[in-house]
Every structure is written in C-alpha cells, then in structure tokens.
C-alpha cells in the first residue's frame, strides 16, 4: 500500500507519520510531500529515510491513498488533481467538509457511508470529532434534541507558531505572535474569524459538521470556542438535552462500551479527564457526567481528546484503515 502524506513536515503531518508507525499501518512505500521549500529534505519513518516530494512528484508516484494536512487552499488546488489520477484523498482541512458531494467521516460514527467512488473524503474539525464520538451512542439511545458546547482548545490547534508564542511568553521572550493577544495566563474567546451572525467559523463548523456526520439535521447545536494556554488536547463542556429521560449510570456504562471512548468519572477520587493526560492518546475521554438540575432530560459532561491525534491524524489514518479493510482502495 503506497501512502502519501501531504504536509508531512507540519505538526499534524508529523503526528500522522507517528500514528501510521504506531498502528503498524501497511505502508509498502511512503511518499512524504511538503511545500516547495521542503522538497528534497529528508524525514525518518520506521527506521528508514525518505526524501520529501513535490505535489507533482507525488501524483506521478501513484500512491493508493494520500492523507492531506496542508491547509484549505492547498487541498482545494491539489486534492482534485490527486483524485483525477485515481488516488483516494483523505483531507484534514476545512476545504471539503461541507461540500454536499463529499463524505465527512468519523469512523466510529459513520464510516459505513464510504464507497469506492469516494475519491476525496473529508476529515472533520478536531473539536467536532471528539464530540460526535460521544454523542452518537447517546443519540441512538435517548435521541438528542440540543447540545450546548463550550470548548477549551489547545494552542497546538493553531500550529507551531502558536506553540512558539506560548513558550516565548513563558520564558519572557519577544517573538512572532500567532494571536492578537498574549495567550499565556489568558483565554481568548475567538477561534478562526467572526461571521455575520456573531459566531466564529470554528463554532459554526461544530454546528454544521455535527449534523452532517450524524446524518440528522434536527439536532440543534450552539457553540462557544475558546483558546487556552495548554498543550496536549482540547477540552469541551457539553450540555445535552434528550427527548427521553437519561440515566447517568446507564450513560456511563454505555460510553464505557463505546469504541474509542474511555470513561474517567470518579469524583470521590478527583478522577476526570484532563488534556495533559490525553496527550499522545487516540481515545476520547469523558467524565463529570451528571444530570442538569435546572432542566428535564438533560446531562452535563466533560470531554477531552488529543486534537493532533484523534482530532486530526488518528481519525484520518482510521479512515484509511477502513478503506483498506473494506477493499475500497487499491
């Protein structure tokens, strides 16, 4: 299985290579791809050295699957060219997520929608991925009416520039700013640009992507997305209203049995999910599960996952694994 990783030298691309190696993905030939300034450089994978390719070189090499993490503009330009060459693209950018002709996939939720004809497959937004992994089994059992979500997102979601800004501020050093404001000792209630309705693009991604992935436009979602000075993972506070009366014990049991979910919920031991403990993990962690005492049929919970892994790299690799297992490529 020839695999191209587009954006191989970036934060998510590096995580993708790590996930491919850890999961023993069947890579017969790796084709790392990056921007022109990185072409010809070397990267390591499974004890071997590989030369970074250009886009044209990657297409000519005819990989079976190309996993993209190189930004929306790059994906819009190049994903169709890969697809035209018969290469299946799993794209991590926002370019194709809401395109009605493209599938938006979280394997635990809706991998069954994929077919051999899908040549560009969209990987959802990181904060949406971890949320729907938890919502899907609850929706099946209780039917979700409304979700109120507040996110507390890692600087790694912005990229290396933001990580450098945080670390420079901690050391008292001047440097390039990823954000308009300092991030250390701060919380910035803006992720991505503001839209006409007063919400940010990140917040509206969560609203629209959730409905598409879960295949249910009746689920109402409202979001507030906040950047905080942490690394390791995104955290989310969820308030979920159901049509049926939920049971906290049953919810914990259901989520404990759900693929890709780990329940950490023991207040007596101060056990709950935290981003520092989700770092480099592929699972979605859930805790603080409790009834909302102000409203019927409603629960609160806290959800944490590593945004570079399950929120990006791991989800994309899992899509590729599903394609291979079900003979949808090659």
Separation of CA 198 from chain center: 24
Half-sphere exposure of 183 (CA within 13 A, CB side): 29
Q: Based on the residue annotation, tell me whether 53 is a catalytic residue of this protein.
A: no
Q: Based on the residue annotation, tell me whether 126 is a catalytic residue of this protein.
A: yes
Longest dimension (CA), the chain: 60
CA–CA dist 234, 276 (Å, integer): 10
From 22, 23, 55, select the one nearest 36 (Cα to Cα). 55
Catalytic residue among 53, 64, 139, 234: 234
List for the chain the helix, strand, coil content (%; round to 5): 35, 25, 40
Catalytic residue among 64, 126, 139, 279: 126
21 burial (CB, 10 Å; 0-12 / 13-18 / 19+) is: middle
CA–CA dist 285, 304 (Å, integer): 5
Catalytic residues: 126, 234
């Amino acid at each position: 299985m020839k695999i191209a990783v587009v954006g191989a030298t970036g934060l998510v691309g590096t995580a993708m290579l790590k996930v491919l190696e850890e999961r023993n993905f069947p890579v017969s030939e790796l084709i790392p791809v990056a921007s022109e300034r990185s072409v010809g450089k070397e990267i390591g994978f499974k004890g071997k050295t590989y030369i970074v390719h250009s886009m044209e070189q990657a297409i000519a090499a005819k990989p079976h699957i190309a996993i993209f993490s190189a930004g929306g503009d790059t994906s819009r330009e190049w994903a169709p060219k890969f697809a035209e060459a018969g290469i299946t693209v799993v794209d991590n950018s926002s370019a194709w997520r809401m395109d009605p002709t493209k599938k938006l996939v979280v394997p635990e939720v809706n991998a069954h929608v994929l077919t051999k004809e899908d040549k560009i497959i969209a990987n959802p937004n990181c904060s949406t991925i971890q949320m729907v992994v938890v919502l899907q089994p609850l929706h099946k059992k209780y039917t979700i009416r409304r979700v109120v979500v507040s996110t507390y997102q890692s600087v790694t979601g912005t990229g290396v520039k933001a990580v450098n800004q945080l670390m420079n501020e901690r050391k008292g050093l001047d440097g390039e700013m990823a954000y308009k404001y300092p991030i250390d000792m701060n919380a910035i209630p803006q992720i991505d640009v503001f839209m006409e309705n007063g919400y940010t693009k990140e917040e509206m991604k969560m609203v629209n992507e959730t409905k598409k992935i879960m295949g249910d436009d009746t689920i109402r979602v409202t979001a507030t997305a906040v950047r905080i000075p942490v690394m390791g993972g995104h955290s989310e506070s969820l308030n979920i209203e159901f049509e049926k009366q939920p049971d906290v014990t049953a919810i914990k049991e259901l989520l404990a049995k759900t693929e890709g979910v780990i329940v950490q919920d023991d207040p007596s031991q101060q056990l709950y999910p935290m981003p520092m403990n989700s770092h480099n993990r592929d699972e979605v962690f859930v805790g603080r599960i409790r009834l909302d005492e102000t409203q019927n049929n409603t629960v609160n919970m806290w959800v944490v996952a590593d945004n570079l892994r399950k929120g990006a790299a791991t989800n994309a690799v899992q899509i590729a694994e599903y394609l291979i297992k079900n003979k949808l490529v090659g």
